[in-house]
Amino acid sequence: MAKNEGLSKGLQSLLGGVIGIESQQEEGVIIQLNPNDIKPNSMQPRNLFKEAEMHDLMASIKKHGILQPIIVTPTAHGYMLIAGERRWRAAKELGMKKVPAIVRKTDDESLLEIALIENIQREDLNPIEKALGFRELVKKFGFTQEQVAHAMGKDRSSVANYLRLLELPDEIQGHVSRGTISMGHARALLSLHEKEMQIKYCTIIIKEGLSVRDVESMVAGEKNLRKPEKRPERKLPTPHIADIEDRFRKHFGAKVKIRERHGRGQITIAFNNNEEFERIANKSGISL
């Protein structure tokens, strides 16, 4: 699907300025439609509508009316929703006979694309739901992260951070979805590449009520603990010791190492087989 400035031409013309996307075509005329003549979008990505939110929306519509028109596409027997299903459902519950609507023509692929973007932009989604929506745009419609960012009005880095949440174990994603831990906590856990460690620290976060900064400090400490310890630098022997080592090597015909400090130390003579060991012993005046 060809994209124009981050979005398909069809998407820009269909949604216009309704969800904050500038359109190159005239937005369209708002008309009044009977909610009963409108069918829900069979490809709406989200099927759950929170009861409390719907109650608040109905109260707002009852007091102020529908301030933002829904978007529909014509069908053989009426219209199908493109965007605004919550407003449409609320209007039906309230028994309204007319709702403001903009009619646009589209194909099935654009219908799903638009419904998905409208869903992500308008709903109070948790970070994991947003991340799944972004991934759907990337996988199903071939959006790049830059194009997703343009559609959502976000920075590319923000979209990338959401998508990275999906790399976490399902258990942690569940905690993010429920709000048990925040997106900041989750991002800190991503610094730990082992799934077991991520789950371990997630449990600690919940149990101790740690802040994001606390977790970042803990994770940094864990990573430092796992860094290999630096071996102490090997000190070169003094010229005097090096000379003695060389004389020992010539005498025994083997590698010799002398370690000396304040008059105390060790002399190590290396051998590779029994014959070398016997030769070194004989050089030392020891019969075997």
Which residue has better confidence, 154 or 15? Answer: 154
Q: What residues are annotated to the active site?
A: 85
Written as six digits, the tokens of 38 are 């409108």
Average pLDDT, the chain: 79
Q: Is the pLDDT confidence value at 32 over 60?
A: yes
In angstroms, the CA 44 to CA 113 distance is: 9
In the chain, the N- to C-terminal Cα span, in Å, equals 86
Question: Which pLDDT score is estimated for 232?
Answer: 53
251 C-beta neighbours (distance < 10 Å), count? 13
Confidence of residue 258 (pLDDT cuts 50, 70, 90): confident
Can you give the pLDDT at residue 16? 44
Q: What is the pLDDT of residues 77-99, one digit of tens each?
A: 899 888 888 899 899 999 999 99
pTM above 0.75, yes or no: no
At 98-150, the pLDDT tens digits run: 999 998 877 666 766 776 776 676 556 789 988 988 888 888 888 899 988 88
